[in-house]
Amino acid sequence: MGAAGGVTAVSGIALAAGEHPDDERPKRDENSMIDEQPADAPGAAVRVAHFSPDAPNVDVYVDGNRILSDVAYGDVSPYLEIEPGTYTVAVTAAGDPSTVAFEGDVTVEAAFYTVAAIGELGASSFEPLVLLDAGSALVRAVHASPDAPAVDVYADDELLFENLSFGESSDYIAVPAGTYTVSIRPAGDPETTVFSADVTREIGTAYTAYAIGYLEPPAGTEGREFTLKRVEDGPMGEKTKS
């Protein structure tokens, strides 16, 4: 969440955890329509941290529904499940909905977020700081196309892997979960795309993208043109993606 508007994804490796044992975490309001978030749920998941040192305990509202009650300074709530979308979020003094410290429209996507209340009420610097927790996937690339030159691999025009030659494998990198347009381009030539496809990366999953086939298939190898074969690795590696 942000003070208003969207959220920009950043890379990460593992889901961050709260700093407090379960019995010390802020209490989810019993009338809330938002449920605690299982680690593998596909929607958005948001937790709230109270780090404003001069602010009293607070209640948190989403679209007028109280989702957290009596959140004290230093507390970090459990993750709460919410559908991706735009909501009106308000932070008020605990038990006093008329005393509003913050209210604004915020947008969440299918990811894990921490919303940290920071700043000071007395200095009028109180605000929510939005952190995209590591709801990410691990990705590596392998160049296995014998007649293709060294390549660069992009996701939504962002360079992921550079100058990968035939027979080479990259290291794994963490990328935000989501759907991207992946393109393969000759190394050092960002204007030329030899292959492009939309792919989806899921939270907590490792993938290898294999560049396979021929740029110029020899006779008798029809149907084996250059393409990208994406597979899940490790314990969840039963699935093969096109």
Q: Are residues 168 and 107 in the same domain?
A: no
pLDDT per position as a tens digit, 56-95? 999 999 999 999 999 999 998 988 888 888 889 899 999 9
**Range 190-198 average pLDDT:** 95
**Contact in structure between 119 and 52 (CB atoms under 8 Å):** yes
The reported pLDDT for the residue numbered 190 is 95
Q: Are residues 150 and 220 in the same domain?
A: yes
Give domain status of residue 5, yes or no. Answer: no
The reported pLDDT for the residue numbered 235 is 55
Of 67, 98, 132, the one marking the end of a domain is 132
Q: Are residues 124 and 141 in the same domain?
A: no
The reported pLDDT for the residue numbered 129 is 85
Q: Are residues 152 and 115 in the same domain?
A: no
Indicate whether this model's pTM tops 0.75. no
The reported pLDDT for the residue numbered 18 is 29
**Range 38-59 average pLDDT:** 78
Whether the predicted pLDDT of 158 surpasses 50: yes
Give domain status of residue 12, yes or no. Answer: no
- Neighbouring CB atoms inside 10 A of 104's CB total 16
Q: Are residues 30 and 51 in the same domain?
A: yes
pLDDT per position as a tens digit, 222-232? 889 999 999 88
Give domain status of residue 32, yes or no. Answer: yes
For residues 150 and 136, the model is more confident at 150
**Range 163-180 average pLDDT:** 89
Give domain status of residue 91, yes or no. Answer: yes
CATH number at residue 152: 2.60.40
Give domain status of residue 13, yes or no. Answer: no
The reported pLDDT for the residue numbered 92 is 94
Q: What percent of the chain has pLDDT over 70?
A: 78
Give domain status of residue 59, yes or no. Answer: yes
Distance CA(69)–CA(12), nearest Å, equals 30
Q: Are residues 26 and 118 in the same domain?
A: yes
The reported pLDDT for the residue numbered 242 is 47
Distance CA(89)–CA(241), nearest Å, equals 38
The reported pLDDT for the residue numbered 151 is 97
The whole-angstrom distance between residue 98's C-alpha and the CA centroid of its chain comes to 34
Q: Are residues 152 and 207 in the same domain?
A: yes
pLDDT per position as a tens digit, 205-216? 889 999 999 999
Give domain status of residue 154, yes or no. Answer: yes
- Neighbouring CB atoms inside 10 A of 4's CB total 11
Q: Are residues 117 and 154 in the same domain?
A: no
The reported pLDDT for the residue numbered 133 is 73
E strand intervals along the chain: 27-28, 44-50, 58-62, 65-71, 80-82, 85-93, 96-108, 112-118, 127-132, 136-143, 151-155, 158-164, 173-176, 178-186, 195-201, 206-212, 227-232, 240-241
The reported pLDDT for the residue numbered 29 is 53
Of 85, 115, 132, the one marking the end of a domain is 132
pLDDT per position as a tens digit, 90-142? 999 999 999 999 898 888 877 778 888 898 888 888 888 877 776 678 899 99
CA dihedral 191, 196, 199, 201 (to 10 degrees): -40
Instruction: Please give the tally of structural domains in the chain.
Output: 2
CATH number at residue 122: 2.60.40.10
Q: Are residues 213 and 177 in the same domain?
A: yes
Q: Are residues 153 and 236 in the same domain?
A: yes
Q: Are residues 109 and 64 in the same domain?
A: yes
Of 106, 132, 158, the one marking the end of a domain is 132
Q: Are residues 178 and 208 in the same domain?
A: yes
Give domain status of residue 3, yes or no. Answer: no
pLDDT per position as a tens digit, 10-33? 222 122 222 333 334 455 455 443
Which 8-state DSSP code applies to residue 235? G
> Domain range holding 84?
22-132
